[in-house]
Amino acid sequence: MLTDSEQKLVNWLRTRRVATMRHLQHQFQVCHMTVFRALKKVGYHTSYNRNAGYYTLADVPQFDDWGLWAYRDVRFSRAGTLPETLVALATHAPAGLTVGELEERLQTPVANLLSRLVQHGRLQRQVLRGRHVVYLSPEAECGQRQWEQRQQDLRAVAASTTPALPAGCSAPLVIDVLRQMILAPDDGPAQWARQLQTQGRQVTAGQVRQVQEHYALKKKRRN
């Protein structure tokens, strides 16, 4: 049960929402143990940024779906410290999380800390195409599911951003046709096809017309 002085401290912090230990001590002219004793009785969170130097009461934060809450530029996590928060986020994300995704969500640098968590077996990592790294649950089965989901998500994104090609035409064929149209703008589908055939390309006038129609490329007449 709170003493009268402890109750005043708790009420003040609830009104202010966030404060440092020094500020609490100065406001009530008490030692840090007195502050801790009061906070421990009602429950509290420390910030995961700003060197864990800020405090808030347990019932003040309105955590989002990721268990995060910010008051101005001071940030708190339901998981507690920054290492615990990284483990919780990466473990429960359906497809794991990259450094960039974590830093965007947490608004604080985490790359070095992630490396240490991997070294200590608290997370595992997989390298994507290029140099991006995905951090996953340390549990083998869960991590594998996350990795497969990440690969599936990447394929879906690639499919949605890759422009459709004319029916029956490969990307190299389309490139060859477009190049020939640029080189000989006065020719037509039959001439373009023949010229490409002399270069060893297997293409028909019909395919050239498909490319022309697909990209709405009409032959321009010279004045």
On the question of pLDDT at 220 being above 70, the answer is no
Q: What is the CATH number for 52?
A: 1.10.10.10
pLDDT band at residue 54 using 50, 70 and 90 as cut-offs:
very high
The reply to whether 110 and 51 lie within a common domain is no
Residue 180 domain flag: yes
pTM of structure:
0.72
The reply to whether 115 and 145 lie within a common domain is yes
Tell me the residue range of the domain where 22 lies: 4-61
pLDDT band at residue 223 using 50, 70 and 90 as cut-offs:
very low
Query: For residues 36-73, b (16+ Cβ closer than 10 Å) or e, as one string?
Result: eebbeebebbbbbbeeeebbbbeebbeeeebbbbeeee
Average pLDDT over residues 59-81: 97
Residues 88-125: tens digit of each pLDDT:
999 999 999 999 999 999 999 999 999 999 999 999 99
pLDDT over 70 for what percent of the chain? Answer: 95
Residue 147 domain flag: yes
The reply to whether 88 and 157 lie within a common domain is yes
Residue 72 domain flag: no
The reply to whether 125 and 191 lie within a common domain is no
Residue 218 has a pLDDT of 65
Number of separate domains in the chain? 3
Residue 162 has a pLDDT of 61
Q: Write the CA distances from 140 to 87, 129, 133, 136, 144, integer angstroms.
A: 15, 21, 17, 9, 6
How far apart CA 24 and CA 51 sit, in angstroms, is 17
Long-range contacts of 219-222 (CB under 8 A, 24+ apart): 219/185, 219/186, 219/188, 220/185, 222/186
Q: What is the CATH number for 108?
A: 1.10.10
pLDDT band at residue 64 using 50, 70 and 90 as cut-offs:
very high
> Which domain-ending residue is among 126, 142, 161?
161
